[in-house]
Amino acid sequence: MSRFEYAPAPESRAIVDIKSSYGLFVNGAFVEATDGKPFKTVSPSSEEVLAEVSEAGPADIDKAVKAARKAFDKVWGPMAGRDRAKYLFRIARLIQERSRELAVLESLDNGKPIRESRDVDIPLVAAHFFYYAGWADKLEYAGAGVDPQPLGVAGQVIPWNFPMLMLAWKIAPALAAGNTVVLKPAETTPLTALAFAEICQQADLPPGVVNIVTGAGRTGQALVEHSDVDKVAFTGSTEVGRSIAKAVAGSDKKVTLELGGKAANIVFEDAPIDQTIEGIVNGIFFNQGHVCCAGSRLLVQESVYDEVLARLKRRMGTLRVGDPLDKNTDIGAINSSAQLAKIRELSQIGEDEGAERWSPECELPAEGYWFPPTLFTGVSQAHRIAREEIFGPVLSVLTFRTPAEAVEKANNTPFGLSAGIWTEKGSRILWMANQLRAGVVWANTFNRFDPSSPFGGYKESGYGREGGRHGLEAYLAH
Q: Is the pLDDT of residue 72 over 90?
A: yes
Asked if 258 is an active-site residue, the reply is yes
Name the pLDDT band for 57 (thresholds 50, 70, 90).
very high
pLDDT in tens, 449-470: 999 999 999 999 999 999 999 9
Model pLDDT, residue 35: 85
pLDDT digits (tens, 9 = 90+) for 191-234: 999 999 999 999 999 999 999 999 999 999 999 999 999 999 99
* Known catalytic membership, residue 362: no
pLDDT at 117 over 80: yes
| Active-site pick, 55, 292, 460, 473 | 292
Cα separations (Å) of 21 from 33, 189, 191, 272, 380? 12, 14, 10, 51, 49
CA distance 194 to 212: 7
% residues pLDDT > 70 (the chain)? 99
Mind listing the pLDDT tens digit for each residue in 8-24? Answer: 899 999 999 999 999 99
Q: Is the pLDDT of residue 34 over 70?
A: yes
Confidence at 139, pLDDT banded by 50, 70, 90: very high
Average pLDDT of the chain to the nearest whole number: 97
Contact present, 323 and 329 (Cβ < 8 Å): yes
Please tell me the pTM assigned to this model: 0.96
- Using the predicted structure, report yes or no on whether residue 2 has a pLDDT greater than 60: no
Query: 467 phi and psi, to 5 degrees?
Result: 90, 150
Amino acid 3: pLDDT:
60
**Ranges of H-type helices in 328-425:** 337-352, 384-387, 403-411
Burial of 225 per CB tally in 10 Å (0-12, 13-18, 19+): middle
Q: Which pairs count as long-range contacts for 354-360, CB under 8 Å and 24+ apart, including other chains? A: 354/378, 354/383, 355/379, 355/383, 355/385, 355/396, 358/313, 359/316, 360/313, 360/316, 360/317, 360/319
Q: Given 106, 116, 258, 466, which residue is catalytic?
A: 258
Average pLDDT of span 317-327: 97
Distances (CA, A) of 106 to 122, 305, 437, 446: 9, 37, 33, 23
Mean pLDDT of the region 88-106: 98
4 pLDDT above the threshold of 80: no
